[in-house]
Structure 1
Amino acid sequence: MSIDFQLNVDQTPVQKIAHPMLAENNITLFVKRDDLTHPLISGNKWRKLKYNLHYAHKNKIHNLLSFSGAFSNHLYALAGASRLFGFNTEVIVRGPELDANNPCLKFASACGVKLTPVNRITYRKRYEQDYLSELQTQRPDSLIIPEGGSNQLAMKGVIELAQSLPPTDQVWCAVGSGGTLAGLIEGLPNSTQIYGVAVLKQANYLNDEIQKLSLKAKRQDNWHLFTEYHYGGYGKFTDELWQFCQSMRAQLPLEPIYTGKLLFTIFSQIKQGVIKPNTRIMAIHTGGLQGLTGLKYRKLI
């Protein structure tokens, strides 16, 4: 059976943002609306999963294994993709217990995903080769996809995103595991300045991860990862950031975990005069709007 893994994702629109601060500084801000890729497999998660799923299908691998937190966009998208394309999927979830009422976990279960909770000590091993080899031995018929989906197969999908963008001076994205920024570095011309905003604390290690994924990142200096704009850490945000997300709602749906942090940082850089007048900026909306349901469930918004 042939499966169409395209979903016309390159058809997602580019939206020009209107804002007094942009007009005052003669700055043009576009947003690539990858939140509109697919109702279940949104944003950069589809970009990263596409060629992992294609590889599995081509090699007649029907079982997938991955890792995630309990409210993860990766978990949600992988569950949706598994349901849509007929994969048997197991996700090792940072636990140690599962909340049966968690909306993200409920969705994954409804899609047929096997959820295996582990304690945090075990979960920290998810990048260790010995642990991954043990899992592969236990599940020889499974393709292991890393947390967040960032691997070399994922790069192909993000490079497609990069090559679909119209020319601008700068391209910005939120960064969780590094794959999206690495793919943009690979796929964009050297003349484009590329910026990532890390959404978690103590994220300097991501510079090494990005350079492992992208050979170009090792030899060129047209990119930078901001690690100081995490607004409290992963899954955390300030009142000011949330108010900004709400103020943008008439133009652009935002959540305060990824793209909200990204746009808020861009506007902060404009306000500080770091981004100069007459600059043309492209920001990638990497989806994740399902996360708003989880924030409401936890009474954080």
Structure 2
Amino acid sequence: MQSYNQQITILDTKGVLLFLKREDLLDPEISGNKFRKLKYNLIEAKSKGCKTLLTFGGAFSNHIAAVAAAGKKYGFNTIGVIRGEELADKIAENPTLSFAGQNGMEFVFVSREVFRQKETLEFIEKLKLKYGDFYLLPEGGTNDLAIKGCEEILTDEDSQFTHVCCAVGTGGTLSGIINSLGENQKAFGFPSLKGTFLFDDICKFAKNNNNWGLITEYHFGGYGKVSEELIHFLNEFYRLYGIPLDPIYTGKMMFGIFDLIKKGYFPEGSRILAVHTGGLQGCEGMNLLLEKKHLPLLNYI
């Protein structure tokens, strides 16, 4: 299934055209970049005869939801190691974990301290002793095979664009996009986390370090953080274009792109392609948090 590009009209664009690549429409449950990241990993798991996928994530992880859905769809058992022991008694209250559980995922709830050991050989061996052989997927899903999948986001049709923008979590999606850019294209990543450490992570996978950059001013305080201004923007964006955005990743990216266009950041004549990486399953959980904080809600859930 192919995504498609949808034009977004902005007043006073100074000669800039903006299109949104609807990767969120690839699959109703294995959404956007998660579909791309899992594609070749699932093929590899099948080729190795693995019957179980094991991975890691937080309370509202898009990756956890996607792995659970992929497991059910393609015949794998799935195990999710979840950050936060306190969540074990709150599965029914958590839309993401409820969804994953309904798709057959078995959970292992661990403390945040233990979760930080997830990449150590000792921790992985303990999991193998308990659960037997499994195919290991990293938190967020980024590995070499995930990059290969994300390199397929851009198509020949997309060579018309001068700039390609995407949200950044682990950096895997941006790395794949960088590797498939045309000669005269440039990619911009919009991190949802504070800090510049992602640059080094992306350099591990990106084949070219001269055709991309990170725009770090639109994280709204860090991962999972939002503001009234952002929520109002997302609701207005949906009202104007009928496209839902998630508040953790794509919504922040789109807010940033709009702001930069208004400020004249992109040269006249630029043709921008923004990638909608999905993640909409997290919107319901975000509304629960917004309600607790007495903040405006996303009105398209």
Q: Normalization by structure 1: what TM-score?
A: 0.90
**Deviation of residue 161 (structure 1)?**
1.0
Q: Indicate yes or no: 2:169 matched with 1:190.
A: no
**Deviation of residue 124 (structure 1)?**
1.4
Q: Structure 2 residue aligned with 1:159, among 118, 136, 151?
A: 151
Looking at structure 2, the residues matched to 112 and 164 of structure 1 have their Cα atoms a distance apart, in angstroms, of 38
- The equivalent residue for 1:179 is 172
Q: Indicate yes or no: 2:141 matched with 1:149.
A: yes
SS of 1:97 mapped into structure 2: helix
- Are the counterparts in 2 of residues 270 and 276 from structure 1 also a CA contact under 8 Å? no
Aligned length: 286
**Deviation of residue 267 (structure 1)?**
1.1
Q: Structure 1 residue aligned with 2:73, among 74, 80, 84?
A: 84
SS of 2:86 mapped into structure 1: coil
The letter of the residue matching 1:234 is Y
User: Which moves more between the two structures, 83-92 or 161-170?
Assistant: 161-170
The letter of the residue matching 2:214 is L
SS of 1:21 mapped into structure 2: coil
1:1-301 mapped onto 2 (5 Å cutoff): 8=1, 11-22=2-13, 25-98=14-87, 99-100=90-91, 101-132=93-124, 134-136=126-128, 139-163=131-155, 165-167=157-159, 168-202=161-195, 204-214=196-206, 216-217=207-208, 220-250=209-239, 251=241, 252-298=243-289, 299=291, 301=297
The letter of the residue matching 1:185 is I
- Are the counterparts in 2 of residues 171 and 284 from structure 1 also a CA contact under 8 Å? yes
The letter of the residue matching 2:76 is F
Looking at structure 2, the residues matched to 248 and 186 of structure 1 have their Cα atoms a distance apart, in angstroms, of 30
SS of 2:154 mapped into structure 1: helix
SS of 1:253 mapped into structure 2: coil
Looking at structure 2, the residues matched to 148 and 266 of structure 1 have their Cα atoms a distance apart, in angstroms, of 24
The letter of the residue matching 2:67 is L
SS of 2:118 mapped into structure 1: helix
Structure 2, unpaired ranges of 5+? none
SS of 1:31 mapped into structure 2: strand
The letter of the residue matching 2:250 is T
User: Which moves more between the two structures, 46-55 or 120-129?
Assistant: 120-129
**Deviation of residue 165 (structure 1)?**
4.9
**Deviation of residue 131 (structure 1)?**
3.4
Write out the 4+ residue segments of structure 1 that deviate beyond 3 Å after TM superposition.
Answer: 127-140
SS of 1:162 mapped into structure 2: coil
The letter of the residue matching 2:51 is H
The letter of the residue matching 1:257 is I
Looking at structure 2, the residues matched to 20 and 271 of structure 1 have their Cα atoms a distance apart, in angstroms, of 9
Looking at structure 1, the residues matched to 117 and 155 of structure 2 have their Cα atoms a distance apart, in angstroms, of 35
User: Aligned in 2, Cα 1:275/1:109: closer, same or farther, shift over 3 Å?
Assistant: same
Looking at structure 2, the residues matched to 161 and 38 of structure 1 have their Cα atoms a distance apart, in angstroms, of 14
Q: Deviations over 1:58-94 (max 9, x none)?
A: 2211111100011111111111111111110101001
Task: Name the Cα RMSD after superposition.
Answer: 1.6
The letter of the residue matching 2:278 is G
Q: Deviations over 1:19-78 (max 9, x none)?
A: 2133xx111001100010111111001000111111111221111110001111111111
Structure 1, unpaired ranges of 5+? 1-7
User: Aligned in 2, Cα 1:165/1:102: closer, same or farther, shift over 3 Å?
Assistant: farther
